[in-house]
Amino acid sequence: MNNHGNNLVKDLTLVIFRVFIAVILAKTGALQDLITSTQKPAGIVILFIAQYRDFI
């Protein structure tokens, strides 16, 4: 039970960290620059959806 709790804390920490990074990127426009400058924008979108599919 304790191990499960630790995993939950780790997962929540990762989620919060990812959301924080996403907000920073959105505020600075870095994510948009990355998408427009890359040759594989679809890959980034798929990766983004794959990471957040549980929360959509």
Q: What is the pLDDT of residues 31-53, one digit of tens each?
A: 666 666 655 556 667 667 767 76
Number of helices (H), then strands (E), in the chain: 3, 0
Does the pTM surpass 0.85? The reply is no
* Residue 7's pLDDT band (cuts 50, 70, 90): confident
End-to-end CA distance of the chain: 27
The closest alpha carbon to 55, from 19, 7, 9, belongs to 19
Does pLDDT of 25 surpass 80? no
CA atoms within 13 A on the CB side of 48: 13
Per mean pLDDT, which of 1-15, 20-34, 37-51 is the most reliable? 1-15
Per domain, the residue ranges of the chain are 2-55
Q: What is the pLDDT of residue 41?
A: 57
